[in-house]
Amino acid sequence: MINNNRQALEILTWYHDAGVDEAVSDYSTDFFAKNETSAATAKVVKATPPAKPSLGHKPSAPARAPQASSVLEAGETANEARLLAQSAKTLEDLKTALEQFDGCGLKATATNLVFGDGAADARIMFIGEAPGSDEDIQGLPFVGRSGQLLDRMLVAIGLDRQNAYITNVIPWRPPGNRTPTPHETAVCRPFIDRQIELVSPEVIVFLGGVAAKEMLDTATGILRLRGKWTNFKGKDTEYPALPTLHPAYLLRQPAQKRLVWSDFILIRQFLDGKK
Ligand code: URA
């Protein structure tokens, strides 16, 4: 028992260090029940009371079922999102529209909406996946460890948040930093599309596979996509776009920084008119 408790604590600590710091279900699973080696035989235990959101979560309207993902429902909610997003004439309007939008279940577990940051008239726009824990708390994109690395990468090619615009495909943190579901991505998509139209950058950089695959509508992996110029097709405009590796990946695989450095040189050349 003592061993089991110690092991459980070590596993929880490991999860926490990896960014999984919230319970996402009303049920906890006792993986030590009966057969210690088989998760398949684990016993599901009803938690009392249900897990509460962590630190500073504002009380919010009851969450929509996060996995309510019938194609029909996603389509209807995405239509609602599209109308709302298209009616926004400025970035401020769009932020307000997102604040009023209840069609994405992630809003219920997030602390803050994480909208874009940077220059509204930037020549270049960086688009990541979704906010993490630090972004959720501060309400700003890329302010945690990977954001600090991104800031250093920007400075290396003469950019910063005064002349670049930084945002995410998804504006609310997925619990435990999980990958957004297709339903969540579909209902948030009109807002990032509109954000691109409103900033109207000369060039877009997709940070990581989730952002690149969603926005370029491809199943190709980021290691194949990165470093190759492509076009992002907006409603009325095509934008030159460059996928590159996500800074969080670089924190885990520092040797890959050389690849991103070569991508950032391409970006600098583009901005200098040398593409
Ligand atoms: N990762 C992202 O994709 N976006 C953020 O804002 C932070 C981490």
Residue 205 binned pLDDT confidence (cut-offs 50, 70, 90): very high
Residue at token pair 């270049």 = 124
Q: How far is the CA of 38 from the centre of ligand 1 (A)?
A: 34
Q: Answer with the residue of higher pLDDT: 148 or 26.
A: 148
pLDDT of residue 19: 55
Pocket test for ligand 1, best of 111, 149, 168 (most atoms within 8 A of CB): 168
pLDDT of residue 51: 38
In a domain, 41, yes or no: no
Number of compact structural domains in the chain: 1
How far apart (Å, rounded) are the C-alpha atoms in residues 5 and 17? Answer: 18
Residues with CB under 6 A from ligand 1: 128-132, 135, 141-142, 144, 146-147, 168, 248
pLDDT in tens, 21-76: 555 544 454 544 544 333 333 333 333 333 333 333 333 334 444 454 466 677 88
Ligand 1 atom closest to 134 (CA): 7
Whether 264 has a pLDDT exceeding 90, the answer reads yes
| Percent of the chain scoring above 90 in pLDDT | 72
- Domain extent, residue 174, equals 70-271
pLDDT in tens, 153-170: 999 999 999 999 999 999
In a domain, 189, yes or no: yes
How far apart (Å, rounded) are the C-alpha atoms in residues 137 and 25? Answer: 21
Q: How far is the CA of 33 from the centre of ligand 1 (A)?
A: 36
- For residues 127 and 205, the answer to whether their CB atoms sit within 8 Å is yes
Ligand 1 atom closest to 142 (CA): 6
pLDDT of residue 70: 61
- For residues 216 and 138, the answer to whether their CB atoms sit within 8 Å is no
In a domain, 103, yes or no: yes
pLDDT in tens, 209-222: 999 999 999 999 99
Mean pLDDT of 254-258: 98
b/e per residue, 214-233, with b = 16+ CB within 10 A? bbbeeeeebeebbbeebebe
Stated pTM of the model: 0.77
Kindly give, in sequence order, each residue whose CB lies less than 8 Å from that of residue 33, ignoring residues fewer than 6 positions away: 41, 42, 43
In a domain, 22, yes or no: no
pLDDT of residue 210: 98
In a domain, 160, yes or no: yes
Pocket test for ligand 1, best of 129, 177, 210 (most atoms within 8 A of CB): 129
Ligand 1 atom closest to 146 (CA): 8
47 residue type, one letter? A
Whether 148 has a pLDDT exceeding 60, the answer reads yes
How far apart (Å, rounded) are the C-alpha atoms in residues 175 and 173? Answer: 6
Residue 51 burial class via C-beta count within 10 angstroms: exposed 0-12, middle 13-18, buried 19 and up: middle
Ligand 1 atom closest to 135 (CA): 6
Whether 233 has a pLDDT exceeding 70, the answer reads yes
Residue 238 burial class via C-beta count within 10 angstroms: exposed 0-12, middle 13-18, buried 19 and up: exposed
Mean pLDDT of 82-93: 97
Pocket test for ligand 1, best of 205, 246, 250 (most atoms within 8 A of CB): 246
In a domain, 85, yes or no: yes
In a domain, 204, yes or no: yes
Q: How far is the CA of 69 from the centre of ligand 1 (A)?
A: 24
Ligand 1 atom closest to 168 (CA): 4
Alpha-helix runs per DSSP H in the chain:
2-17, 71-86, 91-100, 106-109, 133-138, 145-156, 182-199, 209-216, 222-225, 247-252, 257-271
Tell me the longest C-alpha to C-alpha distance in the chain. 66
What's 139's domain CATH number?
Answer: 3.40.470.10
Q: How far is the CA of 132 from the centre of ligand 1 (A)?
A: 6
Mean pLDDT of the chain: 84
Least trusted range by pLDDT, from 21-25, 238-242, 269-273: 21-25
pLDDT of residue 52: 35
Ligand 1 atom closest to 114 (CA): 6
In a domain, 48, yes or no: no
